[in-house]
Structure 1
Amino acid sequence: MTHESNQPAHRAVLAIPHLRVQNANAISSPLTWGFPAMTAFVGLMRALERRLGLDPGIAFFAVGVVCHDFEAQINRGGFTHAFRLTRNPVQHDGRSAAIVEEGRVHLEVTLVFDVEISDAHLADAPRQALAERIADELAGMRLAGGSIMSRLQGTTRRVPTRPVLEPVPDADDNDAGEQHKWFRRLARRWLPGFALVSRNDLLGARLTELRAENPTATALDAWLDLSRWNSHADAPPVTAEGDPTAKVEWQTDHRPGWIVPIPVGFSALSALQPPGSVRGARDMTTPFRFVETVWSVGQWISPHRLKRLDDLLWEPVHDPEHPTASGLYRCHNGYQPPPESPEPANPINDSTQRSIRRAQ
């Protein structure tokens, strides 16, 4: 049993910089491909926490991702992209075996974990030793089905490679300006790169715009509209005789940043089944439930444009007591858009919800 003095009690940030991942899963959902889903990173966080156990005196709550390099394993032929698939051995009669299409991608990412550490790790030496141990554990794990590789020796790029574990300044003892300076200093270490944040507010704003023109528009229409480049034709002025005075000009609609469609979790399709009651389940000791993917909209943004730590972090959310969302398992991100961007219809107090979930 873990000693009482080793119980996590102080909020901190653990950053594992510039992890190279080989052959990660590029098919993130039935409708999207590209960067792995955030559920894969949350799964890595939970697997890492279970591997470490309770003795290290650290607990994980959320994870953020900064991507430095993305190399999709595809072949380009004009406008058509095709995955580079493996060649499986032939069958006994010489025919090619049926295969399931697999998309792969090589990544270089920085993982930022929101953690709590014990009193024993407040000093610099024990804290750095714990960070090094966690980095060593990660080197033997998989991320989104891909292998986490150690950095190549002799690289000419000067990038930080040592893990960082720092306590978060207490808001009661430090004003907002000091806390902002601390995060800005930390975020500069993750440049150059792009962080993935949630933009649910854009989805709601676009749905409102579409329904102003078509009352039958759905959230799927808004999601598809934000997932593509849209162009429209500007009609030229017409003379008194009805003839156009100029050619039609095509204009591409403005996009509010690097917007991408992303899967953010799962929604239940069935009731929770007792362990071992569903044949073929991977784990016969855990309750089972059929689910489908939940999609949303995300944005890639440079870390130096983030204002606070919660803008970067993704936290798994599930409220089993909620009457309508008991079958919803999703990742929540606390990004707050600048004042000029549309605000969410239902803003969430991240600090309050974080305190409630940790108390549970």
Structure 2
Amino acid sequence: MPTELPTITGVLVIPRLRIQNANAISSPLTWGAPAMSALLGTMHSLERRLGAELGLNFNGVGVICHGHEAQTTEGGFTRAFRLSRNPVNADGSSASIVEEGRIHLDISLVFGVVGTVLGEDDATRQRVAQTVADHLAGMRVAGGSVMPALPHSAGGPTARQQRPQLLPLGPEGAEQTKAFRSWRLRWLPGFALVSRDDLLHNHHAKLQAAQPGASLLDAWLDLSRLNYRAQRTQVENPRTGELVEAVTWQHDRPAGWIVPIPVGYAALSPLYEPGEVAGARDRSTHFRFVESVYSLGQWISPHRLTSVQDLLWYGDHDEPTGLYRCRNDYRAPAPADAEPGDPACAPMLPVFLPPAAQAQQPSLF
């Protein structure tokens, strides 16, 4: 079971992908940017199709968002997705609509890779990077279609900004740090998504100090909204000199662009043998019923990242608890020898599960 990012010796950068109608409903409880599980799925699909041919293994993926346009109605506090009308039924009545949330994206994908091709010359590495980019242009990314980039005269990226790159990471130390500083400037302007499990658990501990019965769900909801509270203070009236009560409204959200995100799945059933469950889409693969798992993420400017490892997400599977989740090491995981009750272990604890999953997986807490 991996507890940290697998080894990488280089990065493959596919910049400024223009994706149309990507899936904006990332989970039963969240909407907005596609879930990281969708981008990890794109990474695994690329590896299966091209990895053996190009001599590359894909071990992690990061995303930088340069622009987004959610396909929702505008005006007021309540929004709704713009839905397409299905053809009418045979009797002329309106067919039922399955709600589909869509969003247009302008993103860059950064893959952490391992392979012998990283030791080749610049021309060979450029050819491999372009091969991956060309293949990705014909794939679905998070359910959306990859569109040609807009011309620079219409506000699109320059030819240099669109060029994919396969870059060797180099030895750890000052040389690698210097190289990464140069790379991250190419991803501006934009925002990178990183994991903030630590904020969720710290806020949970803060809530429990005031409300012992507070759950991780309470902490997650509290950080997913703006809670304004009245602060009463005594101030002197400048005209009369008397003390009067003044009220100011303040919110307690941490600084930064904090967002609720789905980060994987928790098992609700045993692992069934292939073909054992009737109606399964793939009868050659093991099957398991799961529930979404949630945590917090943060969109930060790439220039605030100190290493490429801070950016990359990777898959993690904990067989005893049936937890399948996406991890990111922007905040370092707890030491392997930490006790479960140790505060230092908090970032490694499973993030909160919906009530149905909690009933099935009490051992996760």
Q: TM-score over 0.5 for the alignment?
A: yes
Counterpart of 1:192, as a letter, is P
Unaligned runs of 5+ in 1: 1-8, 338-343, 350-360
Q: Aligned partners of 2:206, 2:174: CA distance in 1, in Å?
A: 37
Cα distance per residue 1:290-328 (max 9 Å; x no partner): 0000000000000000001110000011143xx3x3x11
> Which of 178, 192, 197 is the equivalent residue of 2:194?
197
Aligned ranges 1:16-95 → 2 under 5 Å: 16-95=14-93
1:152 corresponds to: 150
Structure 2 CA distance for aligned equivalents of residues 316 and 167 of structure 1: 22
Aligned residue runs from structure 1 range 88-167, under 5 A? 88-118=86-116, 121-155=119-153, 156-159=155-158, 160-167=161-168
Offset, 1:345? 2.7
CA contact (8 A) 1:199 1:299 kept: yes
| Aligned position for 2:335 | none
Residue 207 of structure 1 aligns to which amino acid in structure 2?
A: H
CA distance in 1, matches of 2:309, 2:324: 19
One-letter identity of the residue aligned with 1:216: G
For residue 205 of structure 1, give the secondary structure of its aligned residue in structure 2.
helix
| Structure 2 contact 17–146 (Cα < 8 Å) conserved | yes
Which amino acid is the alignment partner of residue 296 of structure 1? S
Quote how far apart the aligned CAs of 1:250 are: 2.2
Change (3 A) 1:12 1:95: same
Q: Give 1:332's aligned residue.
A: 327
Q: Secondary structure at the match of 2:280?
A: coil
* Structure 2 residues not aligned, in runs of 5+: 1-6, 237-242, 333-342, 349-365
Q: Assess, with a 3 A threshold, how the Cα gap between structure 1 residues 199 and 334 changes in structure 2: closer, same or farther.
A: same
Give per-residue Cα distances to partners, 1:78-98, cap 9 Å, x unaligned.
111111000111112221111
| C-alpha contact 1:10 1:119 (8 A) present in aligned 2 | no
Taking the aligned partners of 1:44 and 1:119, their CA distance within structure 2 comes to: 21
Q: Specify the alignment match of 2:268 in structure 1.
A: 269
Distance 1:348 1:177, change over 3 A: farther
Code of the aligned partner of 1:346: C
* Alignment-mate amino acid for residue 333 of structure 1: N
Please state if 1:216 is matched with 2:213: yes
CA distance in 1, matches of 2:115, 2:255: 38
Provide the residue aligned with 1:345 in structure 2: 344
Tell me if structure 2 keeps the 8 A contact 1:263–1:294: yes
Question: What is the aligned residue count?
Answer: 325
CA distance in 2, matches of 1:69, 1:119: 32
* TM-score (norm. length: structure 1): 0.85
Of 247-256 and 63-72, the range deviating more from structure 2: 247-256
Q: TM-score, normalised by structure 2?
A: 0.84
CA distance in 1, matches of 2:157, 2:203: 42
Any conservation in 2 of the 1:10–1:118 contact (CA below 8 Å)?
Answer: no
Are residues 1:310 and 2:305 paired? no
Change (3 A) 1:114 1:91: same
CA distance in 1, matches of 2:14, 2:187: 10
1:271-300 per-residue CA deviation (whole Å, 9 max, x = no partner) reads: 001111111111110000000000000000
Q: After superposition, what is the alpha-carbon deviation per residue over 1:6-44, rounded to whole angstroms, capped at 9, x for unaligned?
A: xxx971100000000000000000000000000000000
Deviation at 1:245, TM superposition (A): 2.7
Q: 1:203 to 1:10 in 2, by over 3 A?
A: closer
Instruction: State how far apart, in whole Å, the 2-side matches of 1:119 and 1:83 are.
Output: 44
CA deviation profile, 1:168-194 (whole Å, cap 9, x unmatched): 1112xxxx2222111110000000000
Q: CA RMSD in A?
A: 2.3
Q: Distance in 2 between matches of 1:154 and 1:34?
A: 27
Q: 1:130 to 1:79 in 2, by over 3 A?
A: same
Of residues 177, 183, 204 in structure 2, which corresponds to 1:186?
183
Rounded to whole Å, the distance in 2 between the matches of 1:29 and 1:219 is 18
TM-superposed CA distance for 1:76, in Å, is: 1.6
Q: Residue in 2 aligned with 1:227?
A: 224
Distance in 1 separating the partners of 2:279 and 2:138:
28
